[in-house]
Protein backbone atom coordinates (compact mmCIF):
# COMPACT_ATOMS: atom_id res chain seq x y z
CA UNK A 1 0.00 0.00 0.00
CA UNK A 2 1.43 3.37 -0.97
CA UNK A 3 2.10 5.78 1.90
CA UNK A 4 -0.12 8.48 0.37
CA UNK A 5 -3.18 6.23 0.36
CA UNK A 6 -2.89 4.96 3.92
CA UNK A 7 -5.70 5.94 6.26
CA UNK A 8 -5.62 6.59 10.00
CA UNK A 9 -7.27 3.21 10.46
CA UNK A 10 -4.03 1.62 9.26
CA UNK A 11 -1.83 3.24 11.89
CA UNK A 12 -3.94 4.53 14.78
CA UNK A 13 -5.15 1.98 17.31
CA UNK A 14 -7.20 2.90 20.36
CA UNK A 15 -9.80 1.31 22.59
CA UNK A 16 -12.47 2.53 24.97
CA UNK A 17 -13.73 0.61 27.99
CA UNK A 18 -15.88 1.87 30.84
CA UNK A 19 -17.22 0.02 33.85
CA UNK A 20 -19.82 1.17 36.37
CA UNK A 21 -17.66 -0.18 39.21
CA UNK A 22 -18.86 -1.51 42.53
CA UNK A 23 -20.17 1.61 44.28
CA UNK A 24 -22.73 3.02 41.86
CA UNK A 25 -25.78 1.74 40.05
CA UNK A 26 -25.23 4.01 37.06
CA UNK A 27 -22.19 4.82 34.97
CA UNK A 28 -21.28 8.52 34.98
CA UNK A 29 -18.38 8.08 32.55
CA UNK A 30 -18.31 9.69 29.12
CA UNK A 31 -15.69 9.66 26.40
CA UNK A 32 -15.02 11.08 22.98
CA UNK A 33 -12.47 10.41 20.27
CA UNK A 34 -11.99 12.91 17.45
CA UNK A 35 -9.67 11.53 14.80
CA UNK A 36 -8.60 13.92 12.05
CA UNK A 37 -10.10 12.84 8.75
CA UNK A 38 -7.16 13.99 6.63
CA UNK A 39 -3.49 14.92 6.99
CA UNK A 40 -4.09 18.70 6.84
CA UNK A 41 -6.60 18.46 9.69
CA UNK A 42 -4.15 16.33 11.67
CA UNK A 43 -1.32 18.83 11.19
CA UNK A 44 -3.60 21.70 12.20
CA UNK A 45 -5.36 20.18 15.24
CA UNK A 46 -4.26 16.56 15.78
CA UNK A 47 -6.33 13.74 17.25
CA UNK A 48 -8.26 14.35 20.48
CA UNK A 49 -9.08 11.68 23.08
CA UNK A 50 -11.04 12.54 26.22
CA UNK A 51 -12.57 10.80 29.22
CA UNK A 52 -14.76 12.37 31.89
CA UNK A 53 -16.13 10.91 35.12
CA UNK A 54 -19.18 12.73 36.42
CA UNK A 55 -19.76 13.69 40.04
CA UNK A 56 -23.03 14.40 41.74
CA UNK A 57 -26.43 12.81 42.06
CA UNK A 58 -27.48 10.22 39.48
CA UNK A 59 -28.45 12.38 36.49
CA UNK A 60 -26.18 15.28 37.42
CA UNK A 61 -22.91 13.39 37.08
CA UNK A 62 -23.97 11.83 33.80
CA UNK A 63 -24.95 15.24 32.41
CA UNK A 64 -21.73 16.90 33.58
CA UNK A 65 -19.47 14.29 31.97
CA UNK A 66 -21.47 14.31 28.74
CA UNK A 67 -21.36 18.12 28.55
CA UNK A 68 -17.61 17.98 29.12
CA UNK A 69 -16.75 15.55 26.32
CA UNK A 70 -19.08 17.22 23.83
CA UNK A 71 -18.02 20.79 24.56
CA UNK A 72 -14.26 20.49 25.06
CA UNK A 73 -13.93 18.86 21.64
CA UNK A 74 -16.32 21.36 20.02
CA UNK A 75 -14.63 24.45 21.49
CA UNK A 76 -11.12 23.13 20.78
CA UNK A 77 -11.87 22.55 17.11
CA UNK A 78 -13.65 25.91 16.80
CA UNK A 79 -10.72 27.94 18.23
CA UNK A 80 -8.51 27.65 15.13
CA UNK A 81 -7.00 31.13 15.56
CA UNK A 82 -5.27 30.00 18.78
CA UNK A 83 -2.35 27.64 19.20
CA UNK A 84 -3.28 24.05 20.04
CA UNK A 85 -2.25 24.50 23.68
CA UNK A 86 -4.16 27.78 24.05
CA UNK A 87 -7.23 26.37 22.32
CA UNK A 88 -7.25 23.28 24.53
CA UNK A 89 -6.87 25.34 27.69
CA UNK A 90 -9.62 27.74 26.67
CA UNK A 91 -11.90 24.86 25.67
CA UNK A 92 -11.52 23.32 29.13
CA UNK A 93 -12.20 26.67 30.85
CA UNK A 94 -15.24 27.45 28.68
CA UNK A 95 -16.65 23.98 29.27
CA UNK A 96 -16.09 24.27 33.01
CA UNK A 97 -18.07 27.53 33.01
CA UNK A 98 -20.86 25.87 31.01
CA UNK A 99 -21.10 22.89 33.39
CA UNK A 100 -21.15 25.24 36.38
CA UNK A 101 -23.83 27.46 34.81
CA UNK A 102 -26.05 24.46 33.99
CA UNK A 103 -25.64 23.19 37.55
CA UNK A 104 -26.62 26.53 39.05
CA UNK A 105 -29.63 26.93 36.75
CA UNK A 106 -31.37 23.76 37.91
CA UNK A 107 -31.70 22.62 41.54
CA UNK A 108 -31.65 18.98 40.40
CA UNK A 109 -28.16 19.49 38.95
CA UNK A 110 -26.78 21.74 41.71
CA UNK A 111 -23.16 20.83 42.61
CA UNK A 112 -22.73 18.61 39.56
CA UNK A 113 -19.24 18.31 38.21
CA UNK A 114 -16.86 16.06 36.37
CA UNK A 115 -13.25 15.08 36.18
CA UNK A 116 -11.68 15.16 32.75
CA UNK A 117 -8.52 14.07 31.05
CA UNK A 118 -7.81 15.02 27.47
CA UNK A 119 -4.96 13.81 25.29
CA UNK A 120 -4.13 15.66 22.11
CA UNK A 121 -1.82 13.80 19.73
CA UNK A 122 -0.13 16.03 17.17
CA UNK A 123 2.68 15.79 14.67
CA UNK A 124 4.85 17.59 17.25
CA UNK A 125 4.03 15.38 20.25
CA UNK A 126 1.26 15.26 22.81
CA UNK A 127 -0.60 17.69 25.05
CA UNK A 128 -2.58 16.74 28.15
CA UNK A 129 -5.33 18.74 29.86
CA UNK A 130 -6.40 17.33 33.20
CA UNK A 131 -8.90 18.22 35.94
CA UNK A 132 -9.68 16.06 38.95
CA UNK A 133 -8.62 12.48 39.58
CA UNK A 134 -9.00 10.77 36.20
CA UNK A 135 -5.32 10.06 35.67
CA UNK A 136 -3.29 9.94 32.47
CA UNK A 137 -0.51 7.38 32.12
CA UNK A 138 2.04 6.74 29.38
CA UNK A 139 3.11 3.24 28.43
CA UNK A 140 6.48 3.31 26.72
CA UNK A 141 8.93 0.45 26.29
CA UNK A 142 6.95 -1.68 28.73
CA UNK A 143 7.12 0.97 31.47
CA UNK A 144 4.01 2.70 32.84
CA UNK A 145 4.51 6.33 33.87
CA UNK A 146 1.90 8.48 35.63
CA UNK A 147 1.71 11.84 33.84
CA UNK A 148 -0.98 13.59 35.90
CA UNK A 149 -1.60 13.92 39.60
CA UNK A 150 -4.93 14.06 41.38
CA UNK A 151 -6.46 17.42 42.18
CA UNK A 152 -7.60 16.40 45.65
CA UNK A 153 -6.94 17.23 49.28
CA UNK A 154 -5.64 13.71 49.92
CA UNK A 155 -3.13 13.99 47.07
CA UNK A 156 -1.94 17.41 48.25
CA UNK A 157 -1.53 16.16 51.82
CA UNK A 158 0.50 13.18 50.59
CA UNK A 159 2.65 15.45 48.43
CA UNK A 160 3.37 17.60 51.50
CA UNK A 161 4.19 14.53 53.60
CA UNK A 162 1.18 15.12 55.86
CA UNK A 163 -0.47 11.80 55.03
CA UNK A 164 1.17 8.40 54.54
CA UNK A 165 0.88 6.50 51.25
CA UNK A 166 -1.53 3.55 51.32
What CATH number is associated with residue 32?
Answer: 3.60.40.10
70 is a domain residue? yes
Model pLDDT, residue 160: 78
pTM: 0.85
Q: Which ranges of the chain have pLDDT less than 50?
A: 1-5
Model pLDDT, residue 7: 59
10 is a domain residue? no
DSSP-derived letter for residue 124 is: T
Question: Structurally, how many domains does the chain consist of?
Answer: 1
The Cα-based distances of 27 to 1, 23, 34, 35, 61 in angstroms read 42, 10, 22, 25, 9
Residues 6+ apart with CB under 8 A from 86: 79
34 is a domain residue? yes
Domain residue limits at 51: 15-159
Model pLDDT, residue 1: 35
Amino acid sequence: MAEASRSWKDSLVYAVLSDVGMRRANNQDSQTVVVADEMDSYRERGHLFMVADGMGAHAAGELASQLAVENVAHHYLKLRDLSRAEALERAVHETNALVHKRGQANAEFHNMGTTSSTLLLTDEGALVAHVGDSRVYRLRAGRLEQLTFDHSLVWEMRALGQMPED
